[in-house]
Amino acid sequence: MAKLYRVIIPVADIERAATFYGSILEAAGRRVSPGRHYFDCEGTLLACFDPKADGDRRAAHPNPEHIYLAVDDLEACFARCEAAGAEFDPGRLASGGKLGEIRTRPWGERSFYVFDPFGNPVCFVDRATQFLG
């Protein structure tokens, strides 16, 4: 079986990304190159990547789909997202209901959805309710 060890989050400003994700994840992470800042999420790296800062010619484009992060205290994470400037825009996806609310989903997860400052969709899930299939 393969191990998922890194997930890339494309960003247009590595400093802003390090600050944003650092405040939400309550971890400093570490800069591994001029355009890469890594956060260890229990063995899987959340890698903020600014291609231009690393010398690439291409610009960063947001991921099309959500990444999902399980947290111990969903309400505290929600408050950190608000303070960090996450976008709680219910109009960005046609999934019914409001994305930026903590809700129990039909499959039993308690979660909320946000967009980071670069347009990447992120979902935070209460670890006690995460659905693993």
117 found inside a domain: yes
CA distance 129 to 5: 23
34 found inside a domain: yes
The pLDDT score that the predictor gives to residue 102 is 92
Report residue 100's pLDDT band, with 50, 70 and 90 as the boundaries.
confident
CATH, residue 122: 3.10.180.10
Q: How distant, in Å, are the alpha carbons of 8, 29, 117 from that of 35?
A: 12, 13, 16
67 found inside a domain: yes
Residue 55 tokens read as 């010398």
Mean pLDDT value across the chain: 92
Q: Write down the pTM of the prediction.
A: 0.90
Average pLDDT over every residue of 75-98: 76
Domain that holds residue 51: 6-129
The pLDDT score that the predictor gives to residue 92 is 52
1 found inside a domain: no
The pLDDT score that the predictor gives to residue 94 is 46
The domain tally of the chain equals 1
